[in-house]
Each structure stands twice: as structure tokens, then as C-alpha cells.
Amino acid sequence: MSPPPSDPSPTPEHAVRILRREHDAVLVVDGMGRGRVEPCRFLLDDETGRPITCLPTAVVNADEHVLFIPDESEGALQLLTIPEPIGRTGGDAPGASCDRWMAYFGSPPHPRFVRYAIDCGRMGAAVFDGDALSIPNPLRSETGLLCNRFNRLRPELIELCRNAGCTTPGPALLVGVDPFGIDVKARFGVLRFEFESPAQDGQDAADRIERMLMHAGDER
């Protein structure tokens, strides 16, 4: 009997997990593989599942925007996108999505926030429809409560970060929860901890986070 393929084609879920896991990207504007190249940091808008980032005004006004996640390597997830300006940094009431971006990454380095509609995606030979990659977070209404609950367990969160190789995590803060995992902000950036399978609801996610933190203490 032939062995199963060692490198199966990526699925839309695989691509969505990458979008949830990664926060670094390279933006190429005015054409695939040419034109201006702009490193950026992004996260997914909970309401729409679309990437949000912060950019210079000149880049926002460019013609074509292609995101390479996490970099321009051959196996990167590539997104052909349509930019939608959603606020200015330092402006009044930039919106919940912009506030989340700042909670993850701190002060924005550029003047414009942008949300990207995904036209299509590509990873290797696999091509994805944009709607298959733009998945709202079904736990968004419960994320605040989950973060408040588990941020009372700071020593366990710090130990979780240490077990992931972050030797000096400093204060650790749970900042995001979605069906695929959690985001913890540590001293040197945001760490991702994934669930083996998608959580079905907020209680399921809470149970999985609790097990993660209990096991983190056991690994000391």
C-alpha cells in the first residue's frame, strides 16, 4: 500500500490558521513582485476576518496590494487584496479594530489604518477564494470575558510563554481568543498557542485554555 503524501495541499483552514498565527507580513504594491515593498504588522478584524494593518498614506493610495505572509519566501501565503482605509492614527475614536491593533503592537508607526478585503489567496499551487479566508471570529462577543478571566492567572501565562521558548516573557497578557487558539502578549511580542482542533464555543475555548495553563505549570 502506498504511504500517504507527506506534504498535502494546503486547505482553507490551514490558510486561516496561518492568518491567525502570523502577525508579520510584507506588502508589495503596484504589482506582484515589483514596486514598493513595505514590511507591516497585522491582525484579523474580529467582525470580518479581514487583515488590519497600519501604513504610510502613499502606500494606502497605491494601485495593487499583495500581502506575503509572513515574508516573500516561495511557500508564503499570498493575498491579493483591496484596501479600505478605516481611520487615522491619533485621531478621535479610531474604532475597536484599531484599538485592538494597538493593544497587540503598541503605538502605530504610520498615519493610516487599513482593513483589507481579500480577493483571493495562494499558497504554493493551492488557490483560495477570498471569502473562504475571511472568517469572522465567532467568539468575539466572549473574548473580553475570557481575557479578563484568564489574565487573573498571570504566573501560569508567564510559564506558558517560558515553555514556548520565551525565557524572559515579562508581564504576560492574554489579548485574543478565537476557535483556533489564543494570543498572549509578552515582552518581545505576541505569542500564539493553538488548539489541536477548533473550539466549538466560548465554554469549549475556556476549558482548553484552562488545560493549557494547568499543563504549563506541570512542565516546570
pLDDT digits (tens, 9 = 90+) for 125-139: 999 999 999 999 999
Phi, psi of 40 (to 5 degrees): -150, 165
User: Where does a domain end: 98, 116, 133?
Assistant: 133
Long-range contacts, stretch 37-40, CB < 8 angstroms, 24+ apart = 37/72
Q: What is the mean pLDDT of residues 16-33?
A: 86
Considering the chain, what is the average pLDDT of its residues? 89
Give the closest residue to 106 by CA, choosing from 177, 173, 20, 22.
173
Domain presence at residue 7? no
> Are residues 129 and 144 both part of a single domain?
no
Amino acid letter, 105: F
Q: How far apart, in whole angstroms, are the C-alpha atoms of residue 183 and residue 27?
A: 23
The model's pLDDT over 170-217, given as tens digits with 9 standing for 90+, comes to 889 999 999 999 999 998 899 999 999 999 999 999 999 999 999 886
User: Where does a domain end: 98, 133, 168?
Assistant: 133
Question: The domain spanning residue 145 has which CATH number?
Answer: 3.20.180.10
User: Where does a domain end: 80, 115, 133?
Assistant: 133
> What's the total number of domains in the chain?
2
* Domain range for 44: 12-133
CA-to-CA separations, 201 to 132, 139, 147, 152, 177, in angstroms, rounded = 20, 7, 15, 21, 11
Give the closest residue to 17 by CA, choosing from 121, 154, 150.
121
Would you state the pLDDT for residue 169?
73
> Are residues 58 and 86 both part of a single domain?
yes
Domain presence at residue 6? no
Query: Residue 136, class by beta-carbon neighbours within 10 Å (0-12 exposed, 13-18 middle, 19+ buried)?
Result: middle
Domain presence at residue 2? no
The model's pLDDT over 35-93, given as tens digits with 9 standing for 90+, comes to 788 999 999 999 999 999 999 988 888 878 999 999 998 889 999 999 998 877 655 54
> Are residues 110 and 185 both part of a single domain?
no
> Are residues 150 and 124 both part of a single domain?
no
> Are residues 22 and 110 both part of a single domain?
yes
Would you state the pLDDT for residue 35?
74
Question: The domain spanning residue 129 has which CATH number?
Answer: 2.30.110.10
Would you state the pLDDT for residue 65?
93
> Are residues 110 and 82 both part of a single domain?
yes
> Are residues 64 and 117 both part of a single domain?
yes
Domain presence at residue 169? yes
The model's pLDDT over 101-118, given as tens digits with 9 standing for 90+, comes to 999 999 998 989 999 999
The model's pLDDT over 138-160, given as tens digits with 9 standing for 90+, comes to 999 999 999 999 999 999 999 99
